[in-house]
Structure 1
Amino acid sequence: MTDISQEERAYRAALYEVDGIGPARIQVLLNYFGTAKSVWGASESTLKEIGLPKDAVFELGKRKSRIDPKQHLSALAKIGIRAIVPDDEEYPKLLKEIDNSPQVLFIRGRFLPQDERSLAVVGTRKATPYGRDVTERLVEQLAAQHFTIVSGLARGIDGTAHRAALESGARTIAVMGGGVDRVYPPEHVGLAQEIAKHGAVVSEFAPGKLPVPGNFPARNRIISGLSLGVLVIEGASQSGTKITASLAAQQGREVFAVPGPITSRQSQAPADLLKLGAKLVTDVSDILDELPDLKDSHTGRTKSVLEVNLDALTSEERKVVELLSEGNLHIDEIVRQVEMKAPVVSATLTMLEIKGVVKQLGGMVYGRK
């Protein structure tokens, strides 16, 4: 059960909707006044005396004249949006542990107790075929180990991670940089709806708030805060991905990174993190090794995403697999390098696809699976 009244929940949610009063200021106001209802009822002069900027005082007054917090919370519930607070049983325990944990989370979907076993999977919006491929494989392995996958619903690695989780039957949580009703990018609206059915779409930002760039550092601290660790798959040297990893380290969470081709710009962030001591990951066992409390569920080493049992393949298949281990290639280049006839290579690739060893990435380009 919860120790907070629905009335206090409504006032707290209403404060989050006031322009100019962000999460940090709300925490200061709650510390001073004790309750959100008291903040809502405070006079303009009192708010100014304690240092709230004039613009924020004006916006609060304007908001107070427009809505009744309790009625507004009921209206949000009618469109499938709830507000949860740290006193609620549903509020994630891991998130409570971080500094400045959100005093309100707006949510579509629901947190479940099993979401305490969660891992953030993050990376660049400009994912390469290699990055998408590795994301799919690792998320599939994490799903088999009953992890909930946390990410940010962005293009690239985030979207791939969410989809792979859903396809693997795992729960997944999307943390937004704007209101939960302001899905960005727009092509992920359908994905967000599926996530809400099989996990949760959450935000510290009130419904209606746009996902402006300044919101994303705050969003990233929630991604890491919800998770036992953060797995970085691709990202440029200067990227938000590294910010999330840095926040995870500050929160005492594990940081994992997947190595990539040194010729790719998107391999720079993982490489930088590995130099700083992040755990190198090629399969889920590398993650479980760093999470000792979860080892009782680890029943053996999973096949590495970078390894395959070559003894089980024909000589032609081994040649192709060994070649593709170095990177994705067009079928014409495969024919040239393995020095086999095109029909033989085509048949070999088909058999490797059936065996789940390789897959076509589009345009007759093949890569390891």
Structure 2
Amino acid sequence: MSLNIPLELLLRLNQIPNFGSSAVLRLLKQVSVQQLLEYGAVEWAHLGLDSRQIQRWLQPKKEYIDPVLAWQAQSAVNQVITIFDADYPFLLKQIVSAPLIIYLQGDRNLLHQRQIAMVGSRDCSDYGEYWSRYFATQLSLQGYVITSGMALGIDSYSHRAALESGGKTIAVLGSGLNRIYPKRNQSLAQQIIEQGALVSEFIPNQAPLPENFPRRNRIISGLSLGTLVVEADVKSGSLITARYALEQNREVFALPGAVQNRFSRGCHSLIKQGALLVESYQDILENLSAYPSQSEMLTPIHPVVPDTAKIKPSLIQPVQQLTKNEKSAVAYPELYRHIGYQAISADDLATALNLPISEVLSQLLELELEGAICTVSGGYCRC
């Protein structure tokens, strides 16, 4: 497959609803760029796209294309990396929902270094602050890049500790790189650009919409060999990152805390589900020592994509028929109907139900808390 795919074409493809990177990779294996540019409604319909998707291809929104090209040309600091580039991060490319395009400011070489994700509550305790600083400092001194989401609380403490110890850190944003959020972290963002990297899959001027943040969590875990949850309530967004890590077959670590501390409940829940309880940074090093760095791995490969271009995710496993009792017993029966006894990922469920990933993740959390489903390697299944 040619790697010389015009950025403008990828920005256009990236606008098509429910048409992710796996679909784009399949498409460009079968169709040349020139053929694609000549495709009209009939050709797209033959590929299985619906009218809404076809309309977006035929009438792309320029505000998602022109500002990106201008941003890239504005400064050498502003970098665009596509899934076809040789230096797209190896580990991220292996996840099912790898972003087609990532935007970066800072040192792109850090994407290929050994990373550990550190996440936790925004409204954390002194205990959480202490241990996030401890782990970020010690892991940085061992050569790990600390990757997090630059939110207030645990994320910010982890980034700052890495910087203060002379280490490197990556912040994955839920907004465009021109729209730093939260605003009080503007100075932290600048420090990270100088001593690390800011990363986002959203175009530079994208506002920090609530639905963006659960989505960006898959990138935090996808870049990393493992995810450490320092403090989290049972409905914390940090648990979404941990669940993504499990889906991606990455290690999950959790710090225990006081039983009466609500910020420890999420960590204790993860430990009950099989996350590794950690008491020191050595616990993490022992479990990750066998993993090579991304730069030591073989030449990056594209994700293994099955030849199921026209198979809808909902048909990969039979859609279950619910009894009346089951319909009344679960909070989201339609979602539950698509979950069987074989693992299915959150992204496949979102596509099957035509819902935003953030909404699906929220519903999955409710079903898991009810005990109706379980998190397993590769996704979710009925308990």
Aligned counterpart, 2:159: 162
What SS class does the counterpart of residue 174 from structure 2 fall into? coil
Preserved contact between residue 257 and residue 281 of structure 1 (Cα < 8 Å):
yes
Preserved contact between residue 44 and residue 54 of structure 2 (Cα < 8 Å):
yes
Provide closer, same or farther for how the CA distance between residues 208 and 128 of structure 1 changes in structure 2, counting only shifts above 3 A.
Answer: same
Q: Give 1:25 deviation, angstroms.
A: 3.7
Higher relative contact order (CA 8 A, sep 6+): 2
Query: Is residue 106 of structure 1 aligned with residue 66 of structure 2?
Result: no
Aligned counterpart, 1:272: 269
Q: Give 1:15 deviation, angstroms.
A: 3.5
Aligned counterpart, 2:303: none
Provide closer, same or farther for how the CA distance between residues 114 and 76 of structure 1 changes in structure 2, counting only shifts above 3 A.
Answer: closer
Aligned counterpart, 1:131: 128
Provide closer, same or farther for how the CA distance between residues 148 and 51 of structure 1 changes in structure 2, counting only shifts above 3 A.
Answer: same
Aligned counterpart, 2:6: 8
Percent identical residues:
37
5+ residue gaps, structure 2, are 293-383
Provide closer, same or farther for how the CA distance between residues 282 and 78 of structure 1 changes in structure 2, counting only shifts above 3 A.
Answer: same
Query: Is residue 259 of structure 1 aligned with residue 237 of structure 2?
Result: no
Q: Give 1:78 deviation, angstroms.
A: 0.7
TM-score normalised by structure 2 residue count: 0.68
Q: Give 1:9 deviation, angstroms.
A: 2.9
Describe how 1:219-368 pairs up with structure 2 within 5 A: 219-293=216-290
Instruction: Write the distance in 2 (CA, Å) between the matches of 1:41 and 1:219.
Output: 33
Instruction: Write the distance in 2 (CA, Å) between the matches of 1:174 and 1:149.
Output: 9
Instruction: Write the distance in 1 (CA, Å) between the matches of 2:38 and 2:150.
Output: 37
* Alpha-carbon displacement from aligned partner over 1:263-302 (angstroms, at most 9, x marks no partner): 111111111111122111121101011123269xxxxxxx
Preserved contact between residue 29 and residue 39 of structure 1 (Cα < 8 Å):
no
Q: Give 1:203 deviation, angstroms.
A: 1.5
Preserved contact between residue 109 and residue 200 of structure 1 (Cα < 8 Å):
yes
Letter of the 2:202 counterpart? F
Instruction: Write the distance in 2 (CA, Å) between the matches of 1:272 and 1:293.
Output: 27
Letter of the 2:8 counterpart? A
Aligned counterpart, 2:72: 76
Preserved contact between residue 140 and residue 164 of structure 1 (Cα < 8 Å):
yes
Instruction: Write the distance in 2 (CA, Å) between the matches of 1:38 and 1:202.
Output: 32
Q: After TM superposition, which residue ranges in structure 1, 4 or more long, deviate above 6 angstroms?
A: none
What SS class does the counterpart of residue 200 from structure 1 fall into? strand
Q: Give 1:218 deviation, angstroms.
A: 2.5
**Matched pairs, number:** 289
Instruction: Write the distance in 2 (CA, Å) between the matches of 1:176 and 1:230.
Output: 17
What SS class does the counterpart of residue 158 from structure 1 fall into? helix
* Alpha-carbon displacement from aligned partner over 1:202-233 (angstroms, at most 9, x marks no partner): 11222222232322332111111100100000
What SS class does the counterpart of residue 213 from structure 1 fall into? coil
Q: Report which stretch shifted further, 45-54 or 194-203.
A: 45-54
- Higher Rg of the two aligned structures: 1
Query: Is residue 32 of structure 1 aligned with residue 27 of structure 2?
Result: yes
Aligned counterpart, 2:193: 196
